[in-house]
Chain A
């Protein structure tokens, strides 16, 4: 086994640095579409630094679970990111796990975040944990079906292998089954990153928040880690979508030019995807909690249809 250390470091840095930018971009565009000026796209960096410098208040009811949660969330998101091909088809840690491990790692982060929400004995946190676990539970089968579709087509659950299989001249622009799987994954993306039809990232209104409710008791550097972790998770899922379904422009050889081009393509794909997310967020209202399963059942059905349409022939 050979470990490509420079690639590993580069991807870690990319994940760390690009994630806040993506969040900032989405926030900025959303504001623009609503005729507001909106925060600068760099704002999340300043936020993170500010949070890091702040003092912390920790609930007196909280136990060590509350204290380790930020680290778990951050580290799991980052490790999941190292399994996703970003600039080249070869993810640095693809040998250590593929799609299933990625889902598992994100679930581990969520598991601890939900426990962290319950720990300070606040009803808000409990509510957030309950809803987060419920919604992620019903989003998971849809996501798995979509992943299965591409995984079976590629004969591998390894993300690098999946990308390699559809990369190059064989790649057909949005195969019908891929289109269906993409639609399913997109809905799951909205749910997993707490976007508007499912959760509202901008609100702190008790009855509607899900993700934010769990973070209510966090402050200072712990909040910074969790927020950063959440934006890394968003970046990971979006680059997963971008590179699995649109594997163009990935660096083929290890030259600086190829890497530069790969980076450029990645940014372009992420920007497009962010645009789609922003459009959905501004044109839709948040769904009532018990309407969300309807949406996710659509995602599940799309995933099933994706499987059916590829493999029934």
Chain B
């Protein structure tokens, strides 16, 4: 076939539509609904994977043209799509994750049988995937905005799927408000661009920044940063994320954390690198700073959580921060004209984007499996699950090692690239600004180490030691399709970690499009075994080599065993309990206890508050009941959003005076507005 990728993409879009329709059709038949909706979604996303990989491998030529999706019925609004390398890359992410999630959902949704309507879940799930794909491939402002809104709405419906619970409804409302602030900003930003171009198609917006006045350009930058920043969840616009992600069903949480927040990243890249032209220095500095702050604060707040899914949601903020750091560095390099370095930084950011999609998806699926088995999100009630759910535990461990940026998995590779970009960026300028590179690098190191601490906690408390509750004791391994879904993502983590040079080749058309450079050849050494940072001299790493080294060195401890310890015996015994009679789960270290040192060290930020109530009869040492409460202050909610909320309410109260309730008054308002507008334009 001549244009196979495009055909496959159409097939994939059709698949999502069919899935959504099937969900509505089988509202009453949950088993059929389950199979058809998620089956369609997995087939459709498989098509998407193949299509996007083909585009990336064959380069831009094949599919890089506008295609009319539907005949347009309204003037100006064209439903045109185009898969350029940037779109293809994000299409790959959504399809890859979509495939794993859909197969996982086949098993996961069974947990809802009899309780909730699976048809609704499946329909919205497909609609959300469809909207996300459309967002990535839209070729004009209108379709982009429509898809953007559709995505926000379907995501809202999925977040509030468990709408019986007050917490969920509250989270839904917060998400709804934030999603609309973000849509407002994005629309305003596009209006500014449209003013300069006079055309709605993305092609006409290419490098439009050169024709705009610098004031408007800066305004557009800020609007897009806020708009896409809310979607991506960068600090301080993140507050909806840790609230909304955890309450959704786990497959949806994985989709939201893995892909939906990446639409913000996609928007930023599309606008900043494609539309707005050569950036001034402060854009890059702002992005780098915001990214660094997001990364550090995200992981610090994650450490304070003992709700497994909220913890993961905070980690999304951290990882988005790391991605934004890469983009910020790339912008700074574009400003100084170092396009090769810009390509390197961009690759670092994009690599981390797909990495985050794979390991965060995996971790959310693992959390979903745990939730499925224990019916709780509270880590303090888990424990010992590694013996009851061995495969889930193994997959979760892979995700945990990957997200902690430990070699040889994929998180390490993308952070390594980020470090290299930051270090080499130091030489690009003489201004004092260059100190920002190593300092944000140091903060990246802090982030990585704290993430490791956090995942020792998450994995250790959830899966290791003794079960802390009845539910954890009675947990069981999840079904095959769920394990398959996790397995796909775990395999992606390992593959992306071990074969970075091969993957980077896929990004060549992308960096060519955005920075005019192809650098994959410079990043690859020794037939692709070794990843180099542009030259061999400036630093090399080989995750595959490191893994081989592990394999080669392992015989040493085994040889020691054979030589010295052949006769030694191994026996199982109780854990040392200081001579008391047996350890109980209450004596184990808790998640809260685990993160206490960090809470104390960063107490200026957390402002921890604790509250102990003790009831006793004779002496305080023999308490009958003890109640302990500990809180961490949400700085941003308290310091920024609450005052803002109060202000808005106060202003609204003033405005309410206008709401007279009489129809004549309203007519008068409209009339006056009309008149004044006419006068304004008649001038």
Contacts and interface: CB of A to CB of B under 8 A. Distances in A.
**Per the CB under 8 Å rule, do A and B touch in the complex?**
yes
Interface of A: 1, 12, 16, 49, 52-61, 63-65, 70-71, 74-76, 78-79, 82, 93-98, 100-101, 103-105, 107-108, 110-111, 114-115, 118-127, 129-131, 133-145, 148-149, 151-152, 155-158, 161, 216-217, 220-221, 224-225, 289-290, 293, 300, 303-304, 307-308, 311-312
Contact of B464 (A52, A115, A142, A144): A115
A63 B446 contact: no
Contacts of A107: 404, 406, 448-449, 452
Q: Which 6 residue pairs spanning A and B have beta carbons closest together?
A: A126-B589, A133-B453, A118-B460, A157-B539, A96-B545, A121-B465
Most B CB within 10 A of own CB, among A65, A100, A142, A149:
A100
B575 A158 contact: no
Contacts of A220: 565, 568, 570
Contact of A156 (B412, B538, B546, B600): B538
Given A58-B571, A130-B593, 15 more contacts: A55-B571, A59-B572, A64-B386, A75-B550, A95-B525, A97-B542, A111-B404, A114-B456, A115-B464, A121-B588, A133-B456, A133-B457, A144-B445, A157-B538, A158-B539
Contacts of B570: 55-58, 220
A61 B384 contact: yes
B460 A110 contact: no
Contacts of A56: 568-571
20 contacts: A16-B556, A55-B570, A60-B573, A93-B545, A107-B406, A111-B456, A121-B587, A122-B576, A123-B587, A129-B460, A129-B589, A130-B457, A134-B598, A137-B450, A141-B443, A155-B427, A157-B539, A289-B597, A290-B601, A311-B434
Contacts of B576: 122, 124, 216-217
Contact of A307 (B397, B435, B461, B569): B435
Tell me if B's interface is mostly helix, strand, loop or mixed: helix
Contact of B401 (A59, A111, A312): A111
A303 B446 CA distance: 14
A58 B572 contact: yes
Contacts of A57: 570-573
Most B CB within 10 A of own CB, among A58, A121, A129, A225:
A121
A286 to B, nearest CB: 16
B598 A119 contact: no
A134 B595 CA distance: 8
A225 B455 CA distance: 24
Contact of A155 (B438, B537, B565): B537
B387 A63 contact: yes
A132 to B, nearest CB: 9
Nearest to A1: B526
B601 A134 contact: yes
Contacts of B460: 114-115, 118-119, 126, 129
A79 B541 contact: no
Interface string B444-479: 111011101101110111011110000000000000
B530 interface: yes
Interface stretch (B42-50, B152-160, B415-423, B632-640): B415-423
Contacts of A115: 456, 459-460, 464
Contact of A140 (B448, B459, B571, B577): B448
B594 interface: yes
B236 to A, nearest CB: 22
Given A52-B564, A55-B571, A148-B423, A79 B550 contact: yes
Contacts of B644: none
A118 B464 contact: yes
B484 interface: no
A116 to B, nearest CB: 9
A71 B557 contact: yes
B556 A148 contact: no
A159 to B, nearest CB: 10
Contacts of A133: 449, 452-453, 456-457
Classify chain B: how many residues form its interface, as a range. 35 or more
A126 B585 CA distance: 12
B575 A134 contact: no
Contacts of A119: 460, 464-465
B554 interface: yes
Contacts of A49: 564
A3 B541 CA distance: 15
Contact of B438 (A58, A152, A217): A152
Given A121-B588, A138-B446, A79 B549 contact: yes
Contacts of B557: 70-71, 74-75, 225
A126 B539 CA distance: 37
A196 to B, nearest CB: 19
Interface string B514-542: 00000000000110011001001111111
B456 A61 contact: no
A144 B587 CA distance: 37
Contact of A120 (B387, B416, B420, B575): B575
Most A CB within 10 A of own CB, among B406, B416, B438, B455:
B438
B412 A104 contact: yes
Interface in B379-420: 383-384, 386-387, 397, 401, 404-407, 412, 416, 419-420
Given A145-B438, A217-B576, A95 B545 contact: yes
Contacts of A139: 449
Contacts of A61: 384, 465-466, 575, 583
B539 A156 contact: yes
Nearest to A164: B537
A105 B407 contact: yes
A65 B401 CA distance: 13
B592 to A, nearest CB: 10
Nearest to A122: B575
A104 B575 contact: no
A300 B572 CA distance: 44
A58 B567 CA distance: 17
A148 B442 contact: yes
Most B CB within 10 A of own CB, among A104, A127, A142, A216:
A104
A81 B244 CA distance: 45
A122 B578 CA distance: 10
Contacts of B540: 94-98, 158
Contacts of B554: 71, 75
B596 interface: yes
Nearest to B383: A121
Contact of B596 (A55, A76, A130): A130
Given A61-B575, A138-B601, A311-B435, A75 B546 contact: no
Given A126-B589, A156-B538, A121 B575 contact: yes
A110 B452 contact: yes
Contacts of A221: 560-561, 564-565, 568
Contacts of B434: 311
B194 to A, nearest CB: 44
A114 B565 CA distance: 25
Nearest to A297: B601
Contact of B601 (A96, A125, A293, A307): A293
Nearest to A72: B550
Nearest to A145: B442
B354 to A, nearest CB: 20
Contact of B452 (A76, A79, A137): A137
A96 B384 contact: no
B553 interface: yes
Contacts of A100: 416, 419, 539, 541
B219 interface: no
A309 to B, nearest CB: 12
B171 to A, nearest CB: 30
B442 A111 contact: no
A46 to B, nearest CB: 12
Contacts of A121: 383, 464-466, 575, 583, 585, 587-588
B441 interface: yes
A104 B598 contact: no
Contacts of B674: none
